[in-house]
Structure 1
Amino acid sequence: MSPAISASPHGENFTEMVAVRHGETEWNVSHTIQGRLDHELNETGRQQAAMVARRLSESEEAKPAAVYSSDLKRAAETAQMIAATSSVSNVVIDQALTERHMGSFQGMKREDVLKSEAYKAYSSKDERKEELPGGGESLNQLSERCVSRLNAIAEKHKGERVVVVTHEEVIQELCRHANPTTSVRRNIPNTSISIFHVSGSDGRWILEKVGDVGHLNEDSFP
């Protein structure tokens, strides 16, 4: 691996994990719940992906050592742009980084879900343990899947920067894991950057940044 890769400021046992939400899709625009349904980026999403890719490539010494991606098209397309712009030879497609399975809510408008009897019944229970209606994942299941995978990736890339392109619900859960003292739902816009410093060997997580879209305003990467 290139010696130009920067180490995490927290020491060589930590990996800087740059979690990027995929670019915009038409279902994002219409506020339709996608979950595992597989949709491509729209034109705005492709422009957003190009902008975040440029931002992540600006610092020669801080380019990613690797780019990992969810298996869904909207994430993989975003990841391919990031990898190409940062001269990373390939994207590692990883199903463990896929979006939360939203069960029977997939394909429904968000406002209709919130008014549905199924959602009201679900939200009155323990949302961490309770699976979503129609075979969807509980928050505990989502956490086990994505947190354990990032710990493994961090252990493989100690002291390096790694880009992980994934989805809103995954990043929400990563934030909750890194900062369990708050249950506030974060704002995670399309192609936003959230930064975690992770020591995979002992499970230590430090949340540094959430939902940063400075690149959409042509700001530079820190």
Structure 2
Amino acid sequence: MRVILVRHGETNENVQGIIQGRLDTSLNEKGIMQAEQTADALRSVRVTHIISSPLSRARVTAEIIAKQQASAAFSTDERLQERGFGVLEGKVYSGPREKPADTVGIEPSAAVIARLGEFWEDLTRSPDPDRTVAIVSHGGALSSLMNYVLTNDRVKCAAGVEPSRFWNCSLSEINVPTEGPGTVISWADVRHLHAGESHVRNVDEAIS
């Protein structure tokens, strides 16, 4: 099975360094353009399933991709939502990476890892070589999935593949065999986006 992880396109909050978490923010003009470029990049791939976070910035990115994948089954899954940051949501955050464990309303890291682990187990329970799944989610969620769920003996990076941040509309590809660990073929690839495009640091991914 082929799995393609897609982070949503840019939002104004991304640019402003605002913590979004579960806020239902929208793509900005550049984010829509990034999603369209991503859809074009995937046009030659026969995507069979598109699964998205229900939050608008991810769902709209997924819907733009789906326009180029007429035969793909489309669904949303709440387990792909961004981590909830409680009282920090909607604010510019410039504090330390490690937030106080008692931050009001914050979703514990262990809970994030658990729901994403459950999602991955459901997805890969019976790998089908004819299945190509595009998963559209968020920077913090994808970082937790790759760094804490999958790299725990579930996947291995191919030669030359290095972990990085998950940039807006980046593509990461994983081959999942019927037995044994999967292989990360690419990690947060943005070569399909316009040349010279600057990367926006994702504050939701930068804090833990």
Sort the TM-score into its range (normalised by shorter chain). 0.7 to 0.9
Find out whether 1:72 has 2:55 as its counterpart.
yes
Inter-CA distance 134–88: structure 2 relative to 1 (3 Å threshold): farther
Aligned-pair distance for 1:153? 1.9
8 Å contact kept, 1:179–1:207? no
Determine whether 1:178 maps to 2:164: no
Give the residue type in structure 2 aligned to 1:197: N
Larger radius of gyration: 1
1:51 to 34, 37, 60: 37
1:194 corresponding residue in structure 2 = 172
CA contact (8 A) 2:163 2:187 kept: no
Q: Per-residue displacement from partner, 1:141-200 (whole Å, max 9, x unpaired)? A: 11111122122123365212100000001110122122249xx9731110001122335x
1:190 and 1:107, CA in 2 relative to 1: closer, same or farther beyond 3 A?
Answer: same
**Amino acid corresponding to residue 196 of structure 1 in structure 2:** I
Correspondence 1:138 to 2:121:
no
Query: Which of 140, 152, 160 lines up with 2:122 in the alignment?
Result: 152
Task: State the alpha-carbon separation in 1 of the partners of residues 191 and 47 from structure 2.
Answer: 18
Letter of the 2:77 partner, please give it. D
The TM-score normalised by the length of structure 2 is: 0.79
Measure the CA separation in 2 of the matches of 1:214 and 1:155.
31
Matches within 5 A, 1:24-103: 24-57=10-43, 59=44, 62-103=45-86
**SS at 1:149's partner residue?**
helix
- Separation (CA, whole Å) in 1 of partners of 2:168 and 2:140: 12
Name the stretch that deviates more: 202-211 or 45-54. Answer: 202-211
Structure 2 Cα separation of the partners of residues 97 and 187 of structure 1? 17
Q: Which deviates further from its counterpart, 159-168 or 184-193? A: 184-193
1:85 deviates by 0.9
SS, match of residue 85 in structure 1: coil
Is the CA contact (8 Å cut-off) linking 1:48 and 1:191 kept in structure 2?
Answer: yes
Distance of aligned partners of 1:80 and 1:114 in 2 relative to their CA distance in 1, 3 Å threshold = same
In structure 2, distance between residues paired with 1:148 and 1:188: 21
CA distance in 2 between counterparts of 1:89 and 1:34 reads 29
Gaps of 5+ in 2: 154-161, 196-208
Offset of residue 203 of structure 1: 7.9
Is 1:162 the counterpart of 2:133? The answer is: yes
Secondary structure of the 1:215 match is: coil
Q: Are 2:48 and 2:73, in contact at CA under 8 Å, matched by a contact in 1? A: no
Classify the secondary structure of the residue corresponding to 1:190: coil
* Structure-1-length-normalised TM-score: 0.75
Greater helix fraction, Structure 1 or Structure 2: 1
Question: Distance in 2 between the 1:72 and 1:105 partners?
Answer: 18
**How far apart are 1:103 and its partner, in Å?**
1.9
Alpha-carbon RMSD: 2.5
